[in-house]
Structure 1
């Protein structure tokens, strides 16, 4: 039996990080529950105190194919390198210079959204196609692959 997967990010600002990942992946911030025009209205109706209205957020694949990303507020900051990270497939089917050019263009786009570049790894055939290590606005590592 296969199971659906949700990827969870511990973070300081769920409402700030969710839109970054929605933009990075072509996802969208999850809609509020049916009958509510906004999350603020839904949380108000659920009697969630204002200080807890940024405790969680989520983004979803508009095509319903990719996993849901869930962002939960935690009190501690990031302290060490991630043991698991996302590879954002920004250059599928491309090799060599064309691949690295596509990765560089995507890196520039994501930096404009708040990401940071960490390191570029050049292609080293036959096993390494080249990639760029990045961090999201809260310092979580990911790769452009």
Structure 2
């Protein structure tokens, strides 16, 4: 049997730290430990060449269960729909109006962090309801 591999989810973005701060709040993630010899990530970042300062940030599940998220600055703007997105599981086990209420409550919270609602996809007999959202840089994700 093949060995299970860990994965990291990487976001291309304009402002890595801002996008990471958003996702930390969404998921309850934290910054990774600072590199040895540095008190803060800011101190580490200041040692990089000027063109690399602020070019990357990461966050991780404090329990070690979820994947690490990595955010890297890229020069081009986002264009088109994401081919991969995160589903934030807030309605697990809920159906009907209870599920929609849970999705709406979380969407309200995330809008306060800078997210935008795109559309509510209502249950259709096959799939349960989900709320399509965008993060602070327009990356799509779903509240599921």
Same fold (TM over 0.5): yes
Aligned pairs (5 A) from 1:2-81: 2-44=4-46, 47-81=47-81
Distance 2:26 2:121 in 1: 20
1:99 and 2:99 equivalent? yes
Give CA deviations for 1:61-107 in whole Å, capped at 9, x if unaligned: 00000000000000000010001111110111111111110000000
8 Å contact from structure 1 (residues 7, 67) kept in 2: yes
Does the 8 Å CA contact 1:19/1:29 hold for their aligned counterparts?
A: no
What runs of 5+ residues in structure 1 fail to find an aligned partner?
A: none
Q: Secondary structure in 2 aligned to 1:58?
A: strand
Structure 2 unpaired stretches of 5+ = none
Q: How many residues align?
A: 142
Q: Distance in 2 between matches of 1:61 and 1:28?
A: 6
Once residues 106 and 50 of structure 2 are traced to their aligned partners in structure 1, the CA distance between those partners, rounded to angstroms, is 36
TM-score (norm 2): 0.94
Determine if contact 2:45/2:54 at 8 Å carries over to the other structure.
no
3-state DSSP of counterpart to 1:29: coil
